[in-house]
Amino acid sequence: MFREQSQVRWHQVHDFGSILSLSAAISPTEATRLRRCRCMLLGTNSKVVSLTRMRITYNAALLPSLVALVLAVIAYAAPFENTGVNGSIGALLALIGAVATVAGTVLVMVLRVGRRLWVSLNLILLIGAGLTTVAAYFLMQYAFAVMMLLTCVALVFALVWNLRKKAA
């Protein structure tokens, strides 16, 4: 009898904000099930929280990569003065590397993929950021190189931090 009533209540719940008031009238097991449903629908379960933590760690990599992208555009286009490498193939390739680093960081932040693919994407992103760092250094664009180096350090931190969190 009670099980049937709770099943009817389970199917009649349309407003998930009223779950807490509804849970007082049903058994603790059903209340727990309703709370879990509310958590999954509102995005407060542990997977979403860990995804939020992952996005925060990748924001630490996104900020210097965006600054590096601006510096790469300045190096290639030379809007303020002659940089010595403006318009060259090397500066263009460094600019492409900075764009790929920003795009890859955003992609890794928002994608929900398996662990192997996630680690593979991170390693490819780290290699690309490292090679762009070397290219910026050889172009004698030291501010650009430092920003890309900070991006590499932040990517390593994000990778290690999120692997440690996923292993726990």
Residues 121-154 have pLDDT tens digits of 999 999 999 999 999 999 999 999 999 999 999 9
Paired tokens of 68: 């590096």
Backbone dihedral angles phi then psi of residue 107, each to the nearest 5 degrees: -65, -45
Better-predicted residue by pLDDT, 104 or 12? 104
Residue 84 in this model has a pLDDT that exceeds 90: no
Better-predicted residue by pLDDT, 19 or 95? 95
Residue with tokens 């300045």: 74
Residue 16 in this model has a pLDDT that exceeds 50: no
Q: Would you give the DSSP letter of residue 13?
A: -
* Residues counted in the chain: 168
Q: What pLDDT is attached to residue 153?
A: 96
What's the pLDDT tens digit per position in 96-107?
Answer: 999 999 999 999
Residue 167 CB contacts under 8 Å (≥ 6 apart), including other chains: none
Residue 62 in this model has a pLDDT that exceeds 90: yes
70: number of Cβ within 10 Å: 12
Q: What pLDDT is attached to residue 34?
A: 54
Q: What pLDDT is attached to residue 130?
A: 96
Residue 22 in this model has a pLDDT that exceeds 90: no
- Quickly state the pLDDT bin for 45 (edges 50, 70, 90): very low
Residue 1 CB contacts under 8 Å (≥ 6 apart), including other chains: none
Instruction: Say how far apart CA 120 and CA 117 lie, in whole Å.
Output: 5
Global pTM exceeds 0.85: no
